[in-house]
Amino acid sequence: MKKHYQKASVLSKTAAMLLAVMLSMSLILPAAGMDAYAVTDSETDTSGKTEQSEPYISDADQIDADSLDSLPSESNSSEAPHPATSISGYKTYYNKCRDEALEIEVDITPAVRRDVQLQRYNSSGKTWDTILTVTLDATEHYAYDAAGMTDEEQNTSSPEEAAETQAEQDADTAAKSADNNTAHMTISVPGEERMKTSSLWRIYVPATDTETEAVSENITILTRNLDDINLSARAACVYRINPDGSGNMLFSKNSYTRVAQASTTKLMTAVLLLESGLIDSSTKISPHAASTPWGSGRLAAGDVYSNKDLLYAMLLPSSNDAATAIAERVGGSEAAFVKMMNAKAKEMGLTRTQFRNPHGLDADGHYTTALELAKLTAYAYRFSDIRDCWATQRKTITSLERKRSWTLWSTNAIFSYVKNFLGGKTGTESNAGCCFTGVYTFGGCTYVTVVLGSGYGFSRWSDTKKLHKYIQDYAATGY
């Protein structure tokens, strides 16, 4: 029994020692980052079979449940869609002399690493031909000559070398934010591409792997002033009326300069009468209207005329009293009507035109430009009643109550000198000089010529004949 007791004691001591060792190892091995119980892929048991290990996750790898939403997932790890490419800041119409530099300013977004093509429409092949290509590299101000190179690249001899130069620029420029990723470009249009012609252009930015393509609106480039014309007029222009109602200026002399317009003012008065719907009614002449300076002398206070007859009186002998009478009839007062005139001018985009009266007598702040008068003339040409007046050289009108009659004579002397003349409006004043705006047809197109501030005598007609000859000489070029 004693021997048995001793053996049990030894076993107990041995077990206690083993237990202590195991406890020590359980504390040491995890601290070392080891798994004491897992078998790795390369370890085998005594039977030679491989056991698959389970993944070990340390305390440092534990993920808080609240933080799961902040981790990227397959649905939100991809980049946000790139913004669409935009082309902005450019004009859709240019009108330049053939020897004048023509530059198109444009903003491209996104800009970095983009090819920008200036294309010209080929009407015979119905294709867009690329005239030059510019490769953008950084969000900076670009100025390009006809070869499509930046100011700093003028010594580059080939597109390949230009591309290498761009590739060597600071890589940080490619990482600029989208807010700053806009290039402002100034592209010079080659002069030989616009000789004696009206050409259609556009700006095209091809798509890349990450950005969409973009195409600008069509840009019309018109070459004008193909010849110098010796005119007495202070300002003049030739303007073509397009079938869609728009127009192109083909010749210009100070056409943006504000000058007095004299009785060409009455075109706006006529337009407002026709748009008022009162053309088929009548008007009683007021004492104020009858006393308008430089009136015809035939409209007496108390006379009643049809508004159509007053329209003829305004546009044929340029009756100032008839213009005042119409203004009072349509606007309620002359002052109210003048406000209507200026509102209409603003509506039509005539930003450099201002009226102070309905007839055109000299007044401070009463002015227009040759180009804007041409646009007003083209607008007035839409009305058949105005076209009928323009085509008339003589007409007799009669007051409705007193039956007073008088004959109206057109002041347009150009009828005898220019073929295909459709009519127009004269104007003469001390400050304005001699003025005329007229409409003609030639080669299937309709044109307006304007002269403002010509000399006295036959000067405005001589100027007009020169402009008409200009149309004949260059209309065949297609511009």
Residue 239 half-sphere exposure, CB side, CA atoms within 13 Å? 26
Tens digits of residue pLDDT in 96-113: 766 678 899 999 998 888
Q: Supply the pLDDT for residue 228.
A: 80
212: closest CA among 89, 114, 76? Answer: 114
List active site positions: 263, 266, 318
239: closest CA among 67, 421, 470? Answer: 470
Tens digits of residue pLDDT in 243-287: 888 888 888 899 999 999 999 999 999 999 999 999 999 999 999
How far, in Å, CA of 251 to CA of 97, rounded? Answer: 9
240: closest CA among 371, 380, 425? Answer: 371
How far, in Å, CA of 328 to CA of 283, rounded? Answer: 9
Which residues, 6 or more positions from 368, have their beta carbon under 8 angstroms from its beta carbon? 258, 259, 261, 264, 350, 352, 353, 354, 376, 452
> 361-390 burial by CB neighbour count: b if 16+ within 10 A, else e?
bebeebbbbbbbbbbbbbbbbebebbeebb
For each of the chain's 479 residues, which pLDDT tens digit applies? 444 434 444 445 555 555 454 545 544 444 444 333 333 333 334 334 333 333 333 333 333 334 334 434 344 444 555 678 999 999 998 877 666 788 999 999 988 889 999 999 988 889 999 999 988 875 444 544 433 433 333 344 455 555 455 544 433 333 333 345 888 889 988 877 765 567 889 999 999 988 899 999 999 887 767 778 899 999 999 999 988 888 888 888 999 999 999 999 999 999 999 999 999 999 999 999 999 998 766 899 999 999 999 999 999 999 999 999 999 999 999 999 999 999 999 999 999 999 999 999 999 999 999 999 999 999 999 999 999 999 898 999 999 999 999 899 999 888 878 888 899 999 999 999 999 999 999 988 999 999 999 998 889 999 999 999 999 888 776 65
Q: Supply the pLDDT for residue 180.
A: 52
Instruction: List the structure tokens of 465.
Output: 């004949």
Q: Supply the pLDDT for residue 173.
A: 39
Cβ-count burial of 283 within 10 angstroms (0-12 exposed, 13-18 middle, 19+ buried)?
buried
How far, in Å, CA of 122 to CA of 330, rounded? Answer: 50
Average model confidence (pLDDT) across the chain: 78
Sheet holding 141-144, edge to edge: 86-88, 103-109, 183-188, 141-144
Instruction: List the structure tokens of 359.
Output: 């007839």
Q: How many CB atoms lie within 10 A of CB 215?
A: 15
The correct answer on CATH 3.40.710.10 for the domain covering 235-477 is yes
| Amino acid in position 296 | S
Which residues, 6 or more positions from 305, have their beta carbon under 8 angstroms from its beta carbon? 282, 283, 285, 299, 313, 322, 325, 397, 399, 400
With beta carbons less than 8 A apart as the criterion, state whether 87 and 108 touch.
yes
Sequential DSSP letters for 113-173: T-EEEEEEEETTTTEEEEEEEEE--SSSEEEE-TT---GGGTT--SHHHHHHHHHTS-GGG
Q: Supply the pLDDT for residue 22.
A: 53
Cα distances (Å, whole numbers) of residue 387 to 312, 345, 351, 464 = 11, 21, 26, 19
Q: Supply the pLDDT for residue 226.
A: 72
Question: What's the CATH architecture for 86-224?
Answer: Sandwich (2.60)
Report the chain's C-alpha Rg in angstroms: 42
468: closest CA among 444, 450, 455? Answer: 450
How far, in Å, CA of 281 to CA of 278, rounded? Answer: 5
Instruction: List the structure tokens of 108.
Output: 């491209």
Q: Supply the pLDDT for residue 39.
A: 35
How far, in Å, CA of 242 to CA of 374, rounded? Answer: 13
* Total count of residues recorded for the chain: 479
How far, in Å, CA of 411 to CA of 394, rounded? Answer: 10
Residue 419 half-sphere exposure, CB side, CA atoms within 13 Å? 5
The pTM (predicted TM-score) of the whole model is 0.60
Residue 248 CA to its chain's centroid (Å): 15
455: closest CA among 234, 252, 285? Answer: 234
Q: Supply the pLDDT for residue 113.
A: 83
How far, in Å, CA of 238 to CA of 58, rounded? Answer: 87
User: What ranges do the domains of the chain cover?
Assistant: 86-224, 235-477
With beta carbons less than 8 A apart as the criterion, state whether 128 and 117 touch.
no
Q: Supply the pLDDT for residue 439.
A: 96
Q: Supply the pLDDT for residue 246.
A: 86
How far, in Å, CA of 56 to CA of 296, rounded? Answer: 109
| Amino acid in position 396 | T
245: closest CA among 446, 62, 41? Answer: 446
Q: Supply the pLDDT for residue 151.
A: 39
